[in-house]
Structures are given as structure tokens and as C-alpha cells.
A and B are shown apart, each in its own frame.
Chain A
Amino acid sequence: MDIVVCIKRVPFTQEVDLEIDSGQRDIVKDGLAFVLNEWDNYALEEAISLKERLGGQVTVVSVGSEEDEEVLRRALAMGADRAIRVDAGNRTLDVRCISRILAKVVKDLPFDLILTGAQADDTNEGCVGVMLAEELGLPHASVVKGVEVLDKGLRIRVELEGGTEEISLIKLPALLTIQTGINEPRYVSVMGIRKAAKKELKVLALEELRLGSGSLEPDSSVERLFFPPEQGGAQMLTGDPATIAERILKILKEKGVIQ
């Protein structure tokens, strides 16, 4: 099974006190570390373990700068066979543009399945996967938590509201956006990443893709970035530990966190 995985490099923001820059449209990125988007990591693991079981090739694609090649190398170290980076220069792109760019690249690749993360850690839009499927006219499913390979397609488990799940069948070729927890992504050692530097990493300039001029015009843009004002909503529980534990359990059930 040939699989294409679309991945993205995002700021490593856990434990960081984020600051908003003077333009109020982005965060201050100086001094931040960058990592592979967590959801993409799961998508990648899913692709590679499918390949290990069924054979085929895994190609990873990312739209980004030279620095973003780091996550492609990590993907190669994890077991991907080929990596493609589309260099978009300094252009501001929205999810729609990104999906059009990816569609153009993926269209010419052999694939039975396309995987993306369900969302990205930075902008949390969760759009690119679905839009890419639309661009390519593929059946798709979002927030997938399980993949089982059948003769003529896949049986997939999709996460829905309130902790419910849905099992669906989907024909190939298809696109799935992957939810965290679907698998246990393997560790990629630093030495492994260095070794993967020898594998091919293809760089495409945006111009080479010959996209129509309208395709790269964003339909949406960020107006202002701000921290939400602090609000109430905290609930103080009192009583002995057993009572408190019981009430926490009840709340968690009500909110659909556990069943």
C-alpha cells in the first residue's frame, strides 16, 4: 500500500509562556523550539506500520522553509521512503492555499491512502486534510482512531461527540485525518535522524507547481491574536477524599470525558 503523509513543523509550546508580537497577528517565535506536529506524528506512525505490514512506499510532504526539513528528516528516520518539501518562500498562505499546493504535489505521486493529522498544534484549524480530499475528489474521514485493512478498503473507527465512536467502511483511495492515541509512535533517535540525512529529500519551488495565480490567494487571514480574558467557571469541591473523588467521576462522565 502506497501512502502519502502530509506533515507540518510547529512551535513546541508546552510549558512556554507565549507572547504575542507587536503586529498582534502572530506569537513571538524567537527562542522557541520546533517539533513535528503531534497529530502528524501519529499519522506517520500509522503509515509506517501499515507499510511494514503490507509493503509499499511512504512519501511525506510538507510545505515550509528549509528549517522545516527537520521534520521531514525525522519522518525519513522513522521509516518513510521519500520526502518532498514545497518551498513557499515568504508568502502568507491559508489552509485553502496549502491544500491546493498539497493536491498538486500529491496528484502525481502513487498513492492508495493519504494521511494527515486531524489538526495542527499551532493554528488548530483542522482543515487541510479535508480540503485536500475535496481538491482530489477522494472519500475522506476525520479524527480517525483506528484503521483496519480489508480486501477492498478500510474499516475505520472515528471519534464523534461525547465519547461516542463510529465504525465505517471506506473505499480506497481515500484520505484520513488521524487522531492522537491511534497508536504509539516509535522513538526516532538522534543518530537515526542523522543517518536519514542520506535519504533523498526533494525540494520543489512553488513556481514549479504552476498553480493558477488565484490558487495562492488566501481566502482567510488573521485579524488579531489575543489571550482570552480570564473567566470564572472553576468549581470548588469540598468534602472527604471519597466524596470528592465520586463527584469528580460524575462530572467527568457528564462531560463525556469517560464513559
Chain B
Amino acid sequence: MYPKGAEVLFIPHWIFLMISLLSLGFFLRTIQKRIVPLRQAQKDPRFNHWRLRILGLLKDGFLQIRQPRYPFSGVVHLVIFWGFVVLGLRSLQLIFYGLGIPFINPFSTEGIWHFYAQLKDIFEVLVLIACVLSIIRRAVLMPSRYKGSHQFEAYLVLSLISFLMITDIALDVSHFALKNTPIETISSKITAGLFKAFSASQLRSVFNISFLLHLLTFFVFLNILPVSKHFHIITALPNVFFKKLAKGSIKPARYGIEELEDLEYLGIRKITDFTWKHILDFYSCTECGRCSDNCPANLSGRALSPKILTLKLREHLYSTYPVFRRPTQDSQIVGEIVGEEEIWSCTTCGACERECPVFIEYIDKIVDMRRYLVEQGENPSTFNQVFLNMEKTGNPFGRPGQKRTEWLLNLEGIQVRILKKGEEVDTLFFVDSYPSFDPRSQLIASAVAKGLSMAQVDFGILGPLERDSGHQVRRMGEEGLFQLLKEQNQKTFEAIRFQRIVTTDPHSFNTLKNDYQLKVPVYHYSEYFLELFKTGRLSKKGVPKGGRYTYHDPCYLGRHNGIYEAPREILEEILGVKLVEMKRSREKSFCCGGADVSLWHEVKEEERMAQKRIGMALEVGADRIVTACPFCLMHLEDAIKTMGLEGKIQVLDLMELIISVC
């Protein structure tokens, strides 16, 4: 049967052979250049958990379930993506046809090919519509999240894709008209009238010109991919496949290195100090700006925009490893390409990573850059005393360990066991530094202790033996100090027998759960108390005060650990509170300002995050914000004071609310 179309195509095969070889060669050369930094980058063990990764690829790579979080552009993107999947085969067919190599005839109308001809036509029309809508949306609505993105590239690629669709439709329809074997496709129906007026030679010209333009455009498009933001068409699926699976944790200073002392330096000095996966992240950024659109630092006018951070690093990567020249000197990044203020602006809230459709990682990169600054002694000088206090006394305040139990004085008539080495207890209550020493946070620790006591849980605290969990110092880039605190705590844990750990603070919960390698389960009090209520060990006696309640999700409880429902269940089902949800809630929750850098370093900003958050609560008419984190409580209470809203809106910790009615 093949090649029926040969008589239609009058352009010689050798022309297509030349075009194909030239463009393919060029494309492969660029790709080869792109592989160089991947190979020179640091190790990162991602060839594991195959089942999870394949499932993730299906869910987030092919079904792209994150896309419709922005409904319009999400659906449009899905159409274009699936169009590419369906039309990939079509492109192969046309290339081989042009080369005169017998492969599946692109104009076959038999059997399954009849169905494919219709399917591909439907997608061509859909993709064309999607491209036109995208162009109009960019040009007319101009969404702010595209600020700083390569707009010209976007228009160019959308035009190229549209042109590919138009030329394929034209060559297809003219071919069927010539051969007089029309298939009932949308395009052929629409264009039937038009093509009837054409003579056979005119139709042949239409076919040949369309065919040539289609393949030329295809190869131009192919070569644009690895030098533009559309490289994601190639790298996004692998990037999704190799996404970070260990949520909440921070990457080690270097993978594959046992003794960190042997390293010349920690963290990121030059671009290849990133891991290969992080380099792949740079390749995969689509510049959609969803990260920055949800980044609290960006939204409160700080010097950080995650998208711009990626773009700057990518640009630096490309200029260090250019396509047409030899690699240049790999120069310093921190302070040169990325500003220090930018690096300290991040609260590690994880909103950017939660939104990114291609799973680009930010927190690990930022922490890695901080590690470099800290090791060079270039951190904000206010950190010096905090770090020294942590090292010497195990808390940021420099208070002696013996005073770690002073908060117990708040508890009237309740005995709390202070555990000693060799003892045994059912539940270890890990208080951590702020709830041990900070007067406001102490009230939460007291509430937890009261609650545990009421539920007759056999529990104890470590008292002077407890050291700071190290959550903050790790995220501030003092990795050695984190390791020290972790070792000290782990030694204590090994000397005491217990079944579980319950924490006051989502941060210590996160770090004990995800950064330490413990054999016992770790719970934040919200999860544990839900269990106590459900098993009847604790029950409510009264009802919470009236008011319009809303719940603020702490980042390290929600986004980093997926605990959205436990606090809500306690509030709504156990305590009988009716909640109104803020626009940004659950995984879209808006960070209060964070629990690390912001406590000791004033970052330049237009408006405090906590003030913005209070604004969001007011927007839904709430006058009581419940949260489950001492730092959220602190920041939000501060904001209420600075906004002069005392008496109008109030923040309380979930645990305090529980205690007030039990």
C-alpha cells in the first residue's frame, strides 16, 4: 500500500533528509551540553521507591492533577499536553513520510488508523483553540505571576504550536481532497467548501507547502526547546518522576559523604554544588509563577521570588555552561547571583513547592546556600549569639538547662515527671525550647501537660536533659550545630524507654519525625489529643466561648506533614465549634512569618506576613483565630497589637481551647 502519497509529494526526499539530519544533530549537541552540568553536579539518590515514583509520574506527570489548581490555565495546559502525547505519533509518521521510509502511512484510513486520524484531528483543533486562548489571556489579562518570565518565548512557542496545527490540518485536508478519500473529521467538514474550489494542482501546492512548513516548524521547535523555558517539555516528566519524596526533611549537607569535616566547604558556592536533581529543576521551570504567586515572602514585599530565583540560577547555569562556547569559570553564587537578603527572606513554609506543577524544590536549595553563608561566617550577626547559646545551653536564650523546667510552676497541683536516664514512661512529652522558656509559649506547654494529666496519660518530660530539637538551626544553615543537638537528644532518647513522643510545637514534631531517624512514632499534640478524645480518655465538659472561629494551618503541621484534618476534627466534631475557612487554608495556608530566621533577623518587607494573615481572617469575618503552633500564635498576637485590633480579634492555641472546656 505504501507509498500512496508519494505521487502527491513532489519535494524530493533528500531535502527532508538534510533538514532532519541537520536539526537533529544540532538538537543532540545542545542536549549533550545540557548534560554536562548534570554530570558535574552533586550526588542525589533518587533511583529508589520505583512504585511510588511511577504512581507519582502517572498522577502528577500525565494526569497533572496540580494543573487545575489554576482552573483556566490548568485545563488549557492539560489540553496542550495531551495534544502533544497524541500528536507525537503523527509527527513521527510525517517525518518518515517525508524521508520516504516505509513506516505507518500518515494518510491511512484503515482500521485503527481511521480512529487515529479523527482523534488527532480533534486534538489539533483543541490545541489550536488552547493556544489562541493562551495568547489572548497573556496579552489581555496579563496575569501578574508572569512578571519577569520570558514573555516573547511564550508567544513564540504558542505561535509555533498553532502553526504546526494549522499546517498539519492543511496538508491533511488537501491530501484527502486530492485522493478523494475523505474522512469525516472536524477539519475536513469545516474546510470542505473551501477546498472544493481548488484545482488538483492547487491542492498539490497546498499540500507540499504545508508539508514543508510543518516539518520545518517542527525542527525549529525542537531546537528551541533546550534553549528556552520550553525545555520543560523534555525535562518535566523526569523531574516529576524524581521528585523529593521525604517531605518535611532537609537534605544532608552532601549526599554520599560520611565525614563532613573532609569537605572543603559546606553548601553552595558554585552552581555545580547543587545536586543533579536541582540542576534538572532549573531546566524544568516553566516560568508559570505559581510559586511566587503563593510565596508569603514575595507577597509581603520581601526580596525573594522563588520563580526569579530559579530563573537567575538557570541563567547563570546557562552562561557558565554555554551551548556554543567552552564552560566558563564556575563563579560564586551567593552574594553575586543571589542576594543574601533573598536567601534569608524564605520562611521555609513550602507554599512554592506545594504549587509547582513540575515539583521544583526550593527549601533544600535555600538551606544549602545558607549553609555556605554560615560556614563562611557571613550570616546575620544576630545569629551568632543564638547559635552559641544553642551550642552551649541547648536553647536559643542561653538559659541554663536546670531552668528548662521552670514552666512547670504554671501548673498548679499537677505533677509532671521529670525523666532521668534509665527510666520508663509511656509518652515522652518533648516540650522544646520556646515552650520551655518563652512566657507566652509556656502556656501552651502547660495546657498540653494539663491535658495529658486529665486523660491520665503516663507521661514525662526530659527537663534539663532536653536540648533544642534543632529544627531552626538546621533551616538557618547551621548543619553542624543541628547534628550536635540531634546527637545529644538521641543519646537521651536511647537512655529512656518510651512508646511515643508528643510535641508542643509542629516544628519539633517535624524535625523529630523527619530529620531524626527515630524508631518510635512522633505526634504533634493535635493528632494525639484527637485520639484521646476518640478513645474516650478525654471528654469535653463545656462549650467554647461564642464567636466566629477560623483555623490557621501552621506550615509544618499542614503542608509539610499533611495534618489538616486532626485540628479541624477536634474543633468541629469534638468541641462543636463552627469554623469559617479563610481563602488561603489547608495546603494554601499563608505563613505567619516563620519560626526561625524571622525571630532573630529583621528582613526588609512592606508588610508583615502575620498582618496580612490577620487581614485574611477579618475578610471572612472571623474574630477568633485558632492555631496549633507557638510561633504562629506569637506572630499573630504581635500583628493584632501592631494593627491596633486588640479586643476585636483574638488568637488562641488549640490546646488552650481544649483545656478551657475539658
Bound form: Cα–Cα A189–B379 in Å = 10
B484 lies within 8 A of A190 (CB): yes
Contacts of B387 in A (CB 8 A): 187, 189
Tell which of B374, B383, B399 has the most Cβ of chain A within 10 Å: B374
Nearest-neighbour CB distance to chain A for B580, whole angstroms, equals 39
Interface string of B337-375 (1 = CB under 8 A from A): 000000000000000000000000000000000000011
A12 lies within 8 A of B393 (CB): yes
Nearest-neighbour CB distance to chain B for A47, whole angstroms, equals 15
A192 lies within 8 A of B480 (CB): yes
Q: Does B401 contact A (CB under 8 A)?
A: yes
Q: Does B328 contact A (CB under 8 A)?
A: no
B480 lies within 8 A of A15 (CB): no
Interface string of B389-417 (1 = CB under 8 A from A): 00111000111111100000000000000
Bound form: Cα–Cα A193–B260 in Å = 12
Q: A35-B388, A187-B379, A191-B479 are in contact. List 17 more A-B contacts (CB 8 A).
A: A12-B393, A14-B398, A15-B397, A187-B374, A187-B377, A187-B383, A187-B384, A189-B375, A189-B377, A189-B387, A189-B478, A190-B391, A190-B478, A191-B480, A194-B480, A195-B261, A197-B261
A15 lies within 8 A of B398 (CB): yes
Bound form: Cα–Cα A137–B381 in Å = 37
Nearest-neighbour CB distance to chain A for B638, whole angstroms, equals 20
User: Quick one: closest B residue to A14, CB to CB?
Assistant: B398
Interface string of B474-486 (1 = CB under 8 A from A): 0000111101100
**B-contacting residues, A156-203, CB 8 Å:** 184-195, 197-198
Q: Provide a sorted-by-A list of 9 A–B residue pairs whose CB atoms are within 8 angstroms.
A: A33-B392, A33-B393, A35-B392, A187-B379, A189-B377, A189-B479, A190-B480, A190-B484, A191-B375
Query: Which of B388, B400, B481 contacts A16 (CB under 8 A)?
Result: B400
> Taking A189-B481, A190-B480, A192-B480 as contacts, is the C-beta distance between A15 and B379 under 8 angstroms?
no
Query: Which of A15, A34, A192 contacts B400 (CB under 8 A)?
Result: A15
A190 lies within 8 A of B400 (CB): no
Q: Does B266 contact A (CB under 8 A)?
A: yes
Contacts of B484 in A (CB 8 A): 190
Bound form: Cα–Cα A181–B399 in Å = 23
Nearest-neighbour CB distance to chain B for A172, whole angstroms, equals 27
> Taking A15-B403, A35-B388 as contacts, is the C-beta distance between A188 and B377 under 8 angstroms?
yes
A191 lies within 8 A of B261 (CB): yes
Q: Does A209 contact B (CB under 8 A)?
A: no
Contacts of A14 in B (CB 8 A): 398
Nearest-neighbour CB distance to chain B for A103, whole angstroms, equals 31
Bound form: Cα–Cα A94–B52 in Å = 68
Contacts of B383 in A (CB 8 A): 187
Interface string of A105-134 (1 = CB under 8 A from B): 000000000000000000000000000000
**B-contacting residues, A1-45, CB 8 Å:** 12, 14-16, 31-35
Nearest-neighbour CB distance to chain B for A169, whole angstroms, equals 30
Contacts of B403 in A (CB 8 A): 15
Bound form: Cα–Cα A109–B412 in Å = 63
Contacts of B378 in A (CB 8 A): 186
> Taking A15-B399, A32-B400, A33-B393 as contacts, is the C-beta distance between A189 and B374 under 8 angstroms?
yes
> Taking A31-B401, A187-B383, A188-B377 as contacts, is the C-beta distance between A194 and B393 under 8 angstroms?
no
User: Quick one: closest A residue to B485, CB to CB?
Assistant: A190
Bound form: Cα–Cα A189–B387 in Å = 8
Interface string of B446-483 (1 = CB under 8 A from A): 00000000000000000000000000000000111101
User: Quick one: closest A residue to B400, CB to CB?
Assistant: A16
Bound form: Cα–Cα A187–B477 in Å = 12
Bound form: Cα–Cα A114–B392 in Å = 29
Contacts of B393 in A (CB 8 A): 12, 15, 33
Contacts of A194 in B (CB 8 A): 260-261, 480
Contacts of B392 in A (CB 8 A): 12, 33-35
Nearest-neighbour CB distance to chain B for A42, whole angstroms, equals 12
Query: Which of B260, B398, B480 contacts A12 (CB under 8 A)?
Result: B398
Contacts of A16 in B (CB 8 A): 400
**A-contacting residues, B97-138, CB 8 Å:** none
Which 9 pairs of residues, A with B, have the shortest CB-CB distance?
A190-B480, A186-B377, A191-B480, A33-B392, A190-B481, A187-B384, A187-B377, A15-B399, A194-B261
B400 lies within 8 A of A189 (CB): no
> Taking A187-B383, A194-B480 as contacts, is the C-beta distance between A31 and B400 under 8 angstroms?
yes
Interface string of B260-282 (1 = CB under 8 A from A): 11000010000000000000000
User: Quick one: closest B residue to A198, CB to CB?
Assistant: B261
Bound form: Cα–Cα A187–B388 in Å = 9
Nearest-neighbour CB distance to chain A for B564, whole angstroms, equals 36
Contacts of A186 in B (CB 8 A): 377-378, 384
User: Quick one: closest A residue to B478, CB to CB?
Assistant: A189
**A-contacting residues, B241-271, CB 8 Å:** 260-261, 266
Nearest-neighbour CB distance to chain B for A48, whole angstroms, equals 10
User: Quick one: closest B residue to A79, CB to CB?
Assistant: B377
Nearest-neighbour CB distance to chain B for A95, whole angstroms, equals 26
Bound form: Cα–Cα A188–B480 in Å = 11
Bound form: Cα–Cα A191–B391 in Å = 12
Contacts of A31 in B (CB 8 A): 400-402
B480 lies within 8 A of A189 (CB): yes
Contacts of B481 in A (CB 8 A): 189-190
Nearest-neighbour CB distance to chain A for B403, whole angstroms, equals 7
Nearest-neighbour CB distance to chain A for B603, whole angstroms, equals 18
Bound form: Cα–Cα A190–B266 in Å = 12
